[in-house]
Amino acid sequence: MIKAYRSRLIASVVLALLLFTIPLFASTFFVVQIGIQSLFLGIVALSLIFLAGYGGMVSLAQVALYGVAGYVYAILTVTYNAPWYVGVLVGLLFTSVLAALFALIAIRTQGIYFLMITLAQAMLVYFYVNQDRIFAGGHSGINGVRPPVVGALDLANPTVFYYMTLLIALLVYLGLYYLLRSPFGLALQGIRDNMQRMRSLGYQTSRHRVAAFTLAGFIAALGGIIGVWYNGSISPGSIDLTRTINVLIIAVLGGISYLEGAFVGAVFFTLVTNFASSYTDRFNTVIGIAFLLVALFFPDGLIGLAKKAVQLLSRGDSGRRKGTRQQVSTVSSQAVQAKTSTPKLSDAITGDTPR
């Protein structure tokens, strides 16, 4: 147990050092195209994993909520020239309220019906912004969004932007990590496992689900604000069905039962989309094949696969150690037996030799 804890601690320290030092040795392309993109996509996927893995609600509305926050920010700051912090606050607040409204409709269902309701909500947002030319800019969307300057920090600088995104991703991850171990988080997991039993115990299951969905919407909105800064624009193509499915693929690839799976899946997805396209135009096929392989053979995702590999290696190591200890014990017992059966000089003189 102590050894496993030490291994996790060492791995966490190494990972933290790697994440915080990437801009020091990696190229600007890697920092921007892989690092930043993986982090804000991971934040959006984290909102889905929180709902699906710990609340039993597979939502396809997360990308739509991501887009709503981006649109609100772009409308306020580009169209109406509002300060960046007004765009951020209003974007997060508006998206959270919309997520609560979506939740009030969707929580009346479960399973595949919940998924279809949230898909309908996502498509509702998509078709609205695609047809709204007054505020959302129609099919062209809104361009000219610039990352803000916060005090002495210019987020247009890739290194500054990376560290800002990393900090937000870390805070969201730690917040959910501790929330899931709080009474609310444990109750939410109980509702996931047996809603009727939790209801009979006196829990307001509907309120818990609405609160969880609203929180997930807020997290997706954080990703949307970062995403619109990253892309410099927002359009219906940013929240279409393909992008919606991509976030689901990221969550499943990384491991929908683990919070860390959001970022692992995002890194894998971003690497494939950036580098596989250099070898084939059908990089989406590569992602699809990887998704099928993980879904069929590794339902716990890449995180689950890594944990199984570590367990197998530790079992093999413990087995070898056990075998070595048995061999040493056998050799020791044989040596003791040989020592006790060896005739002594006094026995030879008196004739009392062991039989």
79 residue type, one letter: T
CA-based nearest residue to 246, from 227, 265, 233, 259: 265
**Do the beta carbons of residue 65 and residue 243 sit within 8 Å?**
no
CA distances from 186 to 143, 183, 208, 259 (A): 43, 5, 11, 15
Residue 233 bridge partners (DSSP): 143
Q: What mean pLDDT is predicted for residues 132-138?
A: 93
**The pLDDT value given to residue 15:** 80
Query: What does DSSP assign to residue 57?
Result: -
pLDDT at site 278:
74
Mean pLDDT for 133-138 is 93
Q: Any idea what the Cα angle at residue 26 is, between residues 243 and 259, rounded to 5°?
A: 45
- Residue 233, classed as helix, strand or coil, is strand
Give the separation between CA 141 and CA 143, rounded to whole angstroms: 7
pLDDT tens track for 269-314: 999 888 877 777 777 788 888 888 888 888 888 888 888 887 787 7
Evaluate whether 105 touches 206 at the Cβ level (below 8 Å): no
Residue, of 292 and 104, whose pLDDT is higher: 104
Tell me the pLDDT tens digit for each residue of 334-345. Answer: 554 545 444 443
Work out the percent of the chain whose per-residue pLDDT is above 70. Answer: 86
pLDDT digits (tens, 9 = 90+) for 50-65: 999 999 999 999 999 9
Helix (H) or strand (E) holding 234: strand 233-234
Exposed e or buried b for every residue in 73-110, given b needs 16+ CB within 10 A?
bbbbbbeeeeebeebbebbbebbbebbbebbeebbeee
Q: Are 239 and 64 in contact (CB under 8 A)?
A: yes
Q: Considering only CA atoms, which of 191, 246, 211, 214 is closest in space to residue 54? A: 191
CA dist., res. 243 & res. 9, Å (int): 35
Q: What pLDDT sits at residue 230?
A: 95
- pLDDT (mean) for 70-99: 96
Q: Is residue 350 scored above 50 in pLDDT?
A: no
* Residue 3 scores a pLDDT above 90: no
DSSP 118-177: HHHHHHHHHHHHHH--SSS-GGG-EE-----EETTEETTSHHHHHHHHHHHHHHHHHHHH
Distance CA 147, CA 155 (A): 5
Instruction: List the domain boundaries for the chain.
Output: 37-266, 309-350
Q: What is the pLDDT of residue 274?
A: 86
Q: Which residues is 17 bridged to in the sheet?
A: none
Mean pLDDT estimate for the chain: 87
Q: Quick one: pLDDT at residue 344?
A: 44
Burial of 276 from C-beta contacts in 10 A (0-12 / 13-18 / 19+): middle
- pLDDT of residue 16 exceeding 90: no
CB 254 within 8 A of CB 260: yes
AA letter at 323: G
Torsion over CA of 290, 296, 300 and 306, rounded to 10 degrees?
A: -60
Which of 5-14, 66-75, 143-152 has the least mean pLDDT?
Answer: 5-14
Query: Quick check: 35 pLDDT over 50?
Result: yes
Residues 6+ away with beta carbon under 8 Å from 43: 168, 169, 172, 219, 220, 222, 223, 226, 262
In tens, the pLDDT along 229-275 reads 999 999 999 999 999 999 999 999 999 989 999 999 999 999 988 88
pLDDT at 348 over 50: no
**Rounded average pLDDT over 75-80:** 95
Cα(135)–Cα(79) distance, rounded to whole angstroms? 8
At position 175, the amino acid (one-letter code) is G
Pairwise CA distance, residues 281 & 175, whole Å = 39
Q: What is the mean pLDDT of residues 347-353?
A: 43
